[in-house]
Structure 1
């Protein structure tokens, strides 16, 4: 497969050209040269951009993503880092589950006012204490 210009990479990867230039300035990707004023890329950049997108979706920083590539540019991902991120996501999912259940309870609560509901008051108390996930909700 021949080289791809920046517009083609942008189109195929669904990433603006400005993002590609930024990633290149950060060392996440590298152009292979220019044709006129347009950067050219090896087709393998698309896989690298897919890995970057996956890392971003998982919540990794660009610095963390940069460390996922070896000196040769191939993926060299630290499994401990993946495990730590998965654990972080588990905690976030648990917090979001509690928040979802809280909202469902508040929406269906039969109390005339939310402030009259013991469950909702417990939720507010936990939130004021900085632990919004500290109250179980009977949804």
Structure 2
């Protein structure tokens, strides 16, 4: 079995060596030893890093990605979780499509100023509602005094 050092893996995958070390610390991948100061990995790590990259691109957290590997390091994907993520991506695509269309309209709007454009006003209201929603979620409830 051919072992690859961390710099070879980084060159082949485009994943920074620091990220590879981080993934190892998180338990997503496992090194098999060292050559001098460099970590050594089996060639299987290339597929594991491809899955990690794909998962990150899809918006999975590293903890969720870690659950996508079986004890042997091979992919063990949960179909129900993949369906949930696909549904989440569909909702995100729909929101972004609406936003894109509104921005295009505002860019081409014939109103004398953007503030006179009804779609721009709608875009502003949506943005304000989202900001307020995030602020309210971050607020910590006050403790009641004894």
TM-score, normalised by the number of residues in structure 1: 0.88
Q: Equivalents in 1 of 2:129, 2:24: separation in Å?
A: 44
Equivalenced residue count is 131
Map residues 10-25 of structure 1 onto 2, 5 A cutoff: 10-25=10-25
1:102 match:
102
Deviations 1:81-110 (A, max 9, x none): 111111111111111111111111111101
Query: 1: CA distance between counterparts of 2:25 and 2:64?
Result: 16
Which deviates more from structure 2 when the two are superposed, residues 108-117 or residues 49-58? Answer: 108-117
Which residue does the alignment assign to 1:8?
8
Residues 41-60 of structure 1 aligned to structure 2 (within 5 Å): 41-60=41-60
Moved over 6 A (4+): none
Q: SS at 1:54's partner residue?
A: helix
Pairing 1:105-120 to 2, within 5 Å after superposition: 105-120=105-120
**In the aligned structure 2, how far is the partner of 1:40 from the partner of 1:125?**
54
1:129 deviation in Å? 3.7
Q: Which has more helix, going by share of residues?
A: 2
1:50 Cα deviation after fit:
0.4
Q: Which runs of 5+ in 1 are unaligned?
A: 132-139
Structure 1 residue 74 displacement after superposition: 1.1
Scaled by the length of structure 2, the TM-score of the pair is 0.84
- For structure 2, list consecutive stretches of 5 or more residues without a partner in the other structure: 132-146
Q: Residue 89 in 1 paired to residue 51 in 2?
A: no
What root-mean-square deviation, in Å, do the aligned CA atoms of Structure 1 and Structure 2 show?
1.5
**In structure 2, do the counterparts of structure 1 residues 129 and 3 end up closer, same or farther at CA, with 3 Å as the change threshold?**
closer
